[in-house]
Amino acid sequence: MSAVLTDVPETKPWALRELPAFPSITTKLLQLLSSSDTQVNKLVDLLRSDAALSAELLRRANSALYGFRSQVGSLQHAVMLLGFDQMKSLAMAVSMGAYLKSALRIAALRRCWRHSLATALVAEQLARHMKLDPDGAYTAGLLHDIGLLGLMVNYPEAYSEMLVVGSENAFDIRTVERAQFDVDHCEAGAWLAQQWNFPEEIQQAAARHHEKPADDHSSLTACIYWSSRLADALGFLVNPTPDLHAYADLREIMPGGKAIPENPSEWKTSIGAKVDGFE
Ligand SMILES: [Fe+2]
Ligand SMILES: [Fe+2]
């Protein structure tokens, strides 16, 4: 599988040794996400099997962010109110956040997670204009920097110091990663996504989201490439990089860019509120 991915390292990169296993609930959610005939009760059964996740999902469904007037008392009820797709996306983000928890104490690393969440939310919108599945785009956005998240879970201190030095000198993040870890986060992501049996499209996004797509390209990888750049431009960036584009420029250069808001301030605020809700 994945012979098309040229940059999957052949052997396990040392920097990913001893990485805690990807949570099995998250893997099962990914499988549910990629099958089109999933039923509500299957999702609810899966979520119920993890008490901490269920409790956290109920807490969020009851938070002001969703503005429901009555108390949301059960996962079934939450799915009814939020909708099936939104519930899947929320569960995916909450379970990933739990996996990253210890690393998220460090501010620089929290920025990486905020960037992933913002990319997911932007991708969800962009997918609608690109006629792609918004739900799948959300998940791919959430996981596109999985290599970066993996390195940061394994080496929180070293990675955050590297980010500081990199940003002071406006170095390209992948160059500094290779210098420090012998692997960059796209290679690391390709490797992890393959090891963890992510759907093929997500493997592609993890491996290729820094390669500028051809202009007429309307694949999920292209959607994630532009979403990650837009998340940066909206202020949810990991690091200032030499190729950072302003929002207005991105809107000009990306195919179909005119479909996104001319003034991004409302978009930025709504994404910010959702991203904040995850902290
Ligand atoms: Fe990236
Ligand atoms: Fe990114």
Q: Cα(85) to centroid of ligand 1, in Å?
A: 25
Ligand at shortest distance from the CA of 236: 2
pLDDT in tens, 187-200: 999 999 999 989 89
Q: What is the pLDDT of residues 233-244, one digit of tens each?
A: 999 998 777 667
Measured from the Cβ of residue 229, the count of other Cβ atoms closer than 10 Å reads 24
Q: Taking the model in full, what pTM does it have? A: 0.90
Band the pLDDT of 216: cuts 50, 70, 90.
low
Rounded to 10 degrees, the C-alpha dihedral 169/174/177/181 comes to -160
Closest by CA to 151, choosing from 140, 164, 142, 160, is: 160
Q: How far is the CA of 65 from the centre of ligand 2 (A)?
A: 25
CA of 115 to the centre of ligand 2 (A): 7
Name the burial class of residue 170, with classes exposed (0-12), middle (13-18) and buried (19+) by CB atoms within 10 angstroms of its CB: exposed
Please report the domains of the chain, with CATH numbers, ordered by start residue: 21-101 (no CATH), 105-279 (1.10.3210.10)
